[in-house]
Amino acid sequence: MTSTGSDEHALLRHHGDVDAAPGLLDFAVNVRGERPPAWLRDRLVAAVDRLGTYPSAADDLAARTAVADRHGRDADQVLILNGSAEGFALLPRLRPTLAALVHPSFTEPEVALREAGVPVRRVLLSEDDGYALRPELIPAEADLVVVGNPTNPTSTLHPADLVRALARPGRTVLVDEAFMDAVPGEVESLAHDQETPGLLVFRSLTKTWALPGLRAGYALGSPDLLARLAADRPQWPVGTLVLEAVIACSEPPAVAETEVAAVEALSHREDLVEALEELGVLVAGPASAPFLLLRVPDGERVRQGLRERGIAVRRADTFPGLGPDHLRVAVRSPEQCAPLVAALKAELAVEVTL
């Protein structure tokens, strides 16, 4: 990414929903399903009757307790958020003097920190080793480190012990686990970790439960760290429907359903990787999330060609460290992916004949 100033800021604020125009088959947005499951819709509809009263401290406690029980923590180690995006917007309240952002990764943390005037250092991982995390690249003076796990858009799952190795006295390590519930067994998750000092974990309900329009998520960390993060939040910062969604999606039946979906997504991802590699497409791997990072020749032309064929994929040159030949595609079932594979095959054939 070579743009600077306002152009660069616009690229950092670009997300897959912009690529997924109405009428296109959507492989640009990483959301499972088109709507929440029926049981979750029923819970939210029932909660509408409570919108005539303000969310109470008891409501907030019930949501924090549900999350705490899910992750083996205490309720005072949970902060309910209006999606992880709100958590990223709160990061400047930690008053970091230097933030190290591990890239390629989700760009909203960098946007929030730069807009608040926080010095930012990009730590670029390499395609050559599958975007493996290298703790030695983190500046020693960084007192905030942000890393995704599994990482968007590379689909890389970093070993938990390697992430823990980033911790040191006086440093906050934020792990964005927005897609961790799509990993079978949530292996490498640090959501249960209460021992690593300065550890902060963000989780999202948006992707697995098809709730991008509701904005529901939470932060996990020590009570003092969460208190610093939440300083001067507005009164009633999270609404009744978000609190209900957090409770519902943290209960054992929902967690069990998540695991089933994660195993299914793994199978679908393997099928899609095989189909793409048969076309000669370079797929970043090993992949562990419900999306894949691709590198194709003349990627921008291919992306536009796919769009003309009715297929939306995510441009990836807006992620630091990636270029116009990188594209991100969401993992769907083989039947749903068949039009994507066929269209991509046709576009690559056009490239050969040009």
User: Mind listing the pLDDT tens digit for each residue in 62-77?
Assistant: 999 999 999 999 999 9
pLDDT over 90 (residue 112):
yes
Tell me what percent of the residues of the chain surpass a pLDDT of 70: 95
pLDDT of residue 324: 95
CA-to-CA dists, residue 257 to 210, 218, 260, angstroms: 14, 19, 5
Alpha-carbon distance of 28 to 19, in angstroms, equals: 6
pLDDT of residue 6: 66
User: Mind listing the pLDDT tens digit for each residue in 197-253?
Assistant: 999 999 999 999 999 999 999 999 999 999 999 998 999 999 999 999 999 999 999
pLDDT of residue 5: 63
User: Mind listing the pLDDT tens digit for each residue in 156-182?
Assistant: 999 999 999 999 999 999 999 999 999
Alpha-carbon distance of 148 to 42, in angstroms, equals: 32
Of 329, 315, 303, nearest in space to 15 by CA: 315
pLDDT of residue 23: 87
pLDDT over 50 (residue 151):
yes
- The mean of the pLDDT values for the chain is 94
Helices and strands in the chain, H and E counts: 12, 12
Confidence of residue 1 (pLDDT cuts 50, 70, 90): very low
pLDDT over 80 (residue 11):
no
pTM over 0.85: yes
Instruction: Measure the CA dihedral 251/255/257/261, to 10°.
Output: 150
Q: Are 353 and 289 in contact (CB under 8 A)?
A: no
Give the SS3 label for residue 262.
helix
pLDDT of residue 352: 56
Edge-to-edge order in the sheet of strand 120-124 = 78-81, 217-220, 199-204, 172-176, 144-148, 99-103, 120-124
pLDDT over 90 (residue 97):
yes
Confidence of residue 2 (pLDDT cuts 50, 70, 90): very low
Confidence of residue 4 (pLDDT cuts 50, 70, 90): very low
